[in-house]
């Protein structure tokens, strides 16, 4: 009866180490069996071999900017070698030891990082924590499956808002870029479609284009010939205008010469007519004409040289007739000289 009361059943998922007088009763842990534990003589240590999940909530840390944060960590582990685990650590101390290690590592790592780095690189923090735990638990016969950092919270709400603002702006920028990229893709497809249509149209009009090019070349040559002909005509027009100006100048000179010649001939003919009239005058007529010329004669007589009413005896050498003859000669030119001048004018005209 006492044996049954002291008998303890060990489940399959548990591993037990039976000690009697402080020494193991067997080399291997017991599992899925019953064992008698005598009080004060025996004691039994059991450990769970199932996968364990341990969570440490709200670890208080200070970041590089001296900002307070709350961080939670979740550890997935399993006892791989129960005998080694039981020999190195008490089962009830496993989880508290894990928590101490996790808290120490997280506080140390976060003190070197900014809030932004912690939020963005939680995977790096988990990796460092996992590495430290494995170094410790390898000697305990415990396997660490994973360490996850969760529930990262900044105590100062305003700091979080200010820190989230650049991210929000960046997200909005990314959204706008995505929209622009979408519009650009649609536009590029539309351009590609129009380009293909245009290429097809140009291909269909290739023959027409070649003909147009020939016509354009012909028209270009014709235009060059037209410009060349216009330039030649302009030169001919300029030459004709120059010849016309020369003819005009020659005509003006010739007309002027003719006018002068006509005037000289008219004057000569007038003088000749006067001499004919003079030759036909009688002495009586000459006397009459002479009397008519007296006013003109007096115009040519200088009163300082002669006074018609002074006594001729005052100057015996004074010859009134000779003086009058000289005065008349200024009015009636010398007949022989006039005839000579008229002959020269007529000879020049011929």
| 15 has pLDDT over 80 | yes
Q: Has residue 321 been placed in a domain?
A: yes
pLDDT digits (tens, 9 = 90+) for 155-194: 777 776 666 677 778 888 888 888 888 888 888 888 888 8
Under the banding of pLDDT at 50, 70 and 90, the label for residue 150 is: confident
Same structural domain for residues 142 and 58?
Answer: yes
Confidence category of residue 4, pLDDT binned at 50, 70, 90: low
Question: Is residue 96 in a domain?
Answer: yes
Domain membership flag for residue 272:
no
- For residues 146 and 166, membership in a common domain is answered with no
101-134: pLDDT as tens digits: 999 999 998 888 888 888 888 888 888 888 889 8
One domain, residues 142 and 173: no
Total domains in the fold of the chain? 5
pLDDT number for residue 259:
75
In a domain, 232, yes or no: yes
Could you tell me the residue range of the domain that residue 129 belongs to? 52-155
**261 in a domain, yes or no?**
yes
* pLDDT value at residue 318: 46
Q: Give the residue, 346 or 171, on which the prediction is more confident.
A: 171
Cα separation of 178 and 180, whole Å?
5
pLDDT tens track for 290-337: 566 666 655 655 555 444 444 444 444 445 545 555 545 554 545 454
Give the strand pairing for 68-79 and 142-154: antiparallel
CATH number at residue 56: 3.30.479.30
- Average pLDDT of the chain is 75
Specify if 270 maps to a domain: no
**Do 69 and 127 share a domain, yes or no?**
yes
Greatest alpha-carbon span in the chain: 223
pLDDT tens readout for residues 275-290: 666 666 555 565 566 5
Asked if residues 152 and 71 have their Cβ atoms less than 8 Å apart, the reply is yes
Answer yes or no: is 274 within a domain: no
- Distances in Å between the alpha carbon of 6 and those of 44, 139, 347? 11, 33, 185
116 is a domain residue: yes
Q: CA-CA distance, 191 to 197, in Å (whole number)? A: 10
Q: 125 and 182 in one domain?
A: no
Would the pLDDT of 236 be above 60? yes
Range list of β-strands (E), the chain? 7-9, 14-20, 23-24, 34-36, 42-48, 52-62, 68-79, 142-154
Between 95 and 258, residue with greater pLDDT: 95
């Amino acid at each position: 009866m006492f044996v049954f009361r002291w008998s303890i059943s060990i489940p399959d998922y548990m591993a037990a180490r039976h000690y009697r007088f402080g020494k193991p009763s067997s080399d291997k842990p017991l599992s899925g069996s019953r064992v008698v534990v005598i009080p004060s003589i025996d004691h039994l240590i059991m450990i769970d071999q199932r996968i364990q999940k341990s969570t440490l909530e709200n670890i208080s840390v200070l970041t590089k900017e001296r900002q307070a944060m709350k961080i939670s960590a979740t550890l997935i582990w399993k006892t791989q070698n129960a005998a080694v685990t039981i020999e190195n650590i008490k089962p009830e101390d496993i989880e508290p030891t894990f928590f101490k290690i996790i808290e120490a590592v997280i506080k140390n790592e976060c003190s070197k990082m900014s809030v932004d780095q912690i939020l963005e690189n939680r995977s790096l923090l988990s990796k460092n924590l996992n590495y430290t735990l494995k170094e410790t638990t390898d000697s305990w016969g415990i396997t660490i499956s994973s360490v996850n950092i969760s529930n990262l919270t900044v105590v100062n709400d305003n700091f979080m808002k200010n820190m989230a603002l650049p991210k929000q702006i960046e997200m909005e920028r990314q959204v706008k870029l995505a929209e622009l990229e979408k519009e650009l893709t649609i536009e590029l497809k539309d351009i590609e479609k129009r380009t293909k249509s245009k290429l097809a149209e140009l291909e269909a009009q290739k023959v027409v284009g070649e003909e147009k090019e020939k016509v354009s070349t012909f028209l270009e040559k014709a235009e060059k010939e037209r410009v060349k002909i216009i330039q030649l005509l302009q030169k001919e027009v300029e030459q004709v205008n120059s010849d016309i100006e020369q003819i005009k100048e020659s005509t003006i000179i010739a007309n002027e010469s003719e006018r002068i010649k006509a005037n000289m001939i008219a004057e000569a003919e007038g003088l000749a007519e006067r001499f004919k009239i003079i030759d036909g005058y009688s002495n009586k007529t000459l006397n009459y004409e002479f009397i008519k010329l007296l006013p003109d004669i007096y115009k040519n007589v200088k009163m300082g040289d002669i006074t018609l009413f002074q006594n001729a005896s005052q100057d015996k050498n004074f010859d009134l007739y000779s003086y009058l003859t000289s005065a008349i000669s200024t009015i009636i030119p010398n007949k022989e000289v006039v005839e000579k001048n008229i002959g020269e004018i007529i000879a020049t005209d011929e």
